[in-house]
Amino acid sequence: MSLGRRTVRDAVYGVAVGDALGVPAEFKARDTYRIEGMTGRGTYDKPVGTFSDDTSLTLATSNSIRICKGIDIDDMRERYRAWLRDGAYVPDGESFGVGRTTAAALDRGRGLDGERDNGNGSLMRIVPLAFVDGVTDGQIEAVSAITHAHAISKRACVIYVRIAQRLLAGASVAEAIESVVEPEAKPPFDRLSCIACLSRDEIRSSGYVVDTLEAALWCLAVTDRFGDAVLAAVNLGDDSDTVGAVAGGLAGVAYGYDAIPSEWIRALRGRGMLEASLF
Q: Would you list the domain boundaries of the chain? A: 8-276
Q: What is the pLDDT of residues 164-211, one digit of tens each?
A: 999 999 999 999 999 999 888 999 999 999 999 999 999 999 999 999
32 versus 97: which is more confidently predicted? Answer: 32
Q: How many residues does the chain have?
A: 279
pLDDT tier for residue 6 given thresholds of 50, 70 and 90? confident
In the chain, at which residue ranges do the beta strands (DSSP E only) sit? none
| pLDDT tens, residue by residue, 71-114 | 999 999 999 999 999 999 999 988 888 899 999 999 999 999 99
**Cβ partners under 8 Å of residue 121, min gap 6:** 53, 57, 99, 101, 102, 147, 148
Q: Under CATH, what is the fold of the domain 8-276? A: ADP-ribosylglycohydrolase fold (1.10.4080)
Mean pLDDT in residue range 134-159: 98
Is pTM beyond 0.75 here? yes
Confidence grade of residue 222 (pLDDT, cut at 50, 70, 90): very high
CA 152, chain centre distance (Å) = 16
Contact 28, 41 (CB under 8 A): no
Burial class from Cβ neighbours inside 10 Å (0-12, 13-18, 19+) for residue 116 reads exposed
